[in-house]
Structure 1
């Protein structure tokens, strides 16, 4: 049985497990494991009310993870939820884990007073199942481009 929970203050093991899932699923150790943040950074991130970390666990094994944010807006007194990363281990896909983690993100966003939750999806062929899931859950799809600009 898979359970889904939001990480809280002090859950360093959950935080590390979340990053391990992203590293394994995305195959990008340079982003998730090569330069791990120290415990103080992790504690500060977990303590922020605008940081959202959700994991899916089967027994002692973390099989899914979602990292997101609650973004306070400037143009109105409201917030948006943003799903930054979402991953499910290949062995546990297509059984509702991603949907359950998104449901938890939606709950967190509602509690924070957010008016929407949004997620961006790559247009790579291998991301087709993710886009299909988001389309199924979305009330609107907006085509956009993502640009990385060096600081």
Structure 2
């Protein structure tokens, strides 16, 4: 693991770092809008106490990060967290950075009494499936439905 990588949970005032993370997501997820960042929403998200964003920084470069949403539960004490996105730059993959990001998220969840974390991975994305299994995630088969609201 690279000791020159710092991990940071973003907060209000870290909009430029979040901007860089979104550009990294766009690149790694091969978004058709590689240069687009919704500035208004990123600012609002950093104000949202139910949103978490943790980045990996080497020098002054954002090399990875994740985002998640805390979901308060009505049928149990505490909350659960949906790990929405995680990515590490191509040149930094398979060096423990993704695992460290998830460990940082676990520590964040412990501090907020969030009971569990869930994440989705497409079955054909074997790299993602193997990554989450390696971290101790338990796989469950579900059907994901999307409703477009216009």
TM-score when scaled to structure 1? 0.89
Q: After superposition, what is the alpha-carbon deviation per residue over 1:107-132, rounded to whole angstroms, capped at 9, x for unaligned?
A: 111111111111111122xx212211
CA-CA distance at 1:37 after TM superposition: 2.2
- Structure 1: how far apart are the matches of 2:76 and 2:35? 37
Structure 2 gaps, min length 5? none
- Structure 1: how far apart are the matches of 2:13 and 2:30? 27
- Structure 2: how far apart are the matches of 1:104 and 1:114? 13
Question: RMSD of the TM alignment (CA)?
Answer: 1.6
Structure 1 gaps, min length 5? none
2:130 is matched with 132
- Structure 2: how far apart are the matches of 1:29 and 1:49? 30
Which residues in structure 2 correspond to 1:1-151 (within 5 Å)? Answer: 1-30=4-33, 33-34=35-36, 36-39=37-40, 41-124=41-124, 127-151=125-149
CA-CA distance at 1:77 after TM superposition: 2.5
Determine if contact 1:70/1:112 at 8 Å carries over to the other structure: no
Structure with the higher helix share, 1 or 2: 1
CA-CA distance at 1:137 after TM superposition: 1.7
CA-CA distance at 1:9 after TM superposition: 1.2
- Structure 2: how far apart are the matches of 1:129 and 1:119? 14
